[in-house]
Amino acid sequence: MRLPWMNRSDRQLWRSARTIADLGLLMASWLEGDIASQPGYMPNCGVDEETEHLVPILAAANRTGYLTTCSQPGLEGPGFDGSTWRQRAAVDGHVSDPLLLRALADAAAETGLYFATQDRIPDRTEAAITVTTVNGEPYTTFGQPLSYSDLRTIWPVIRPEAFHAVATSVHVTIAAPEFGKAGEYLWDVLDQALIETCEARVADGRACIVCGCTEFAPCPGGCAWVAGTPVPLCTACRVTAPADLTIHVL
């Protein structure tokens, strides 16, 4: 599917993705302004002004394997129409790494954050979370069940392998129970869960000993495992790795 509003360079980048990790790296680049457009979103448009302060944590989440699709800060006050708007800090996206999924679930349980998941296993879907109200009435929800048609609307352009990765991943929503700035602690909780995930990957031998990349979150531009090393080492770090890690590699 070719969309006229996405420039050729961006379209080729998104078409090159094959995994959740690939998509996450590109999403981080879009968040940081290095890519002009993302699939299913307004062309040549970056993040909303209210979300700009969340770019560092959202980019980190995407690079760790949490492919985010929606997010918002906690806000309260009059809206553009004079109505009373209340927002929960919330983030929504896709995870394929069981280690990261467990870290996010544990972090939410320990801090009282709302946590909802959706996947393709029947009878294992949870209710969507209301994240915005207007004059006390529900207005926006995160975490509603997504059909393949919904996903295709959100993810046009990408190749079949990448779409399959998204469709078979776990749809994860995290939200603060509090409305407004009181719920902004969500981002600190998310940051800690990402750090613990990276540390666990290194500890159990699933991450590069030098840079910490994994099969779920490879180096920018891609990398592979170097065969024959006593510990996990990626090809991007082979030249800079200590000699005792590479001495036995042919």
What confidence tens digit (pLDDT) does each residue in 92-145 have?
999 998 889 999 999 999 999 999 998 866 566 678 999 999 999 999 999 988
* pLDDT on residue 247: 43
Residue type, 246: T
105 and 225 in a common domain: no
Percent of the chain predicted with pLDDT > 90: 60
- The better pLDDT of the pair 35, 217 is held by 35
Q: For residues 49-73, b (16+ Cβ closer than 10 Å) or e, as one string? A: eeeeebbebbbbbbbbbbbbbebbb
Residue 30 pairs in a beta bridge with none
Average pLDDT over residues 176-189: 97
Higher per-residue pLDDT: 228 or 243: 228
Identify the band that residue 23 occupies on the pLDDT scale cut at 50, 70 and 90: very high
Exposure on the CB side of residue 108, measured as CA atoms within 13 A: 19
170: in domain: yes
Does residue 184 share a domain with residue 218?
A: no
Q: Give me the pLDDT at residue 218, please.
A: 80
pLDDT at 241 over 80: no
Q: Is 244 a member of any domain?
A: yes
Task: Please give the pLDDT value at position 123.
Answer: 60
Asked if the structure places residue 88 within a domain, the reply is: yes
Same-domain status, 194 and 241: no
Show the domain range for 215: 206-250
User: β-strand 84-95 against 66-72: which pairing, if any?
Assistant: antiparallel
In eight-state DSSP terms, residue 222 is -
Are 182 and 244 in a shared domain? Answer: no
pTM summary value: 0.82
Task: Report the number of distinct structural domains present in the chain.
Answer: 2
Judgement on whether residues 75 and 197 belong to the same structural domain of the protein: yes
Question: Considering the domain boundaries, does residue 1 fall inside one?
Answer: no
Q: Are residues 68 and 147 in the same domain?
A: yes
Residues 40 and 109 placed together within one structural domain of the fold: yes
Residue 59 maps to a domain: yes
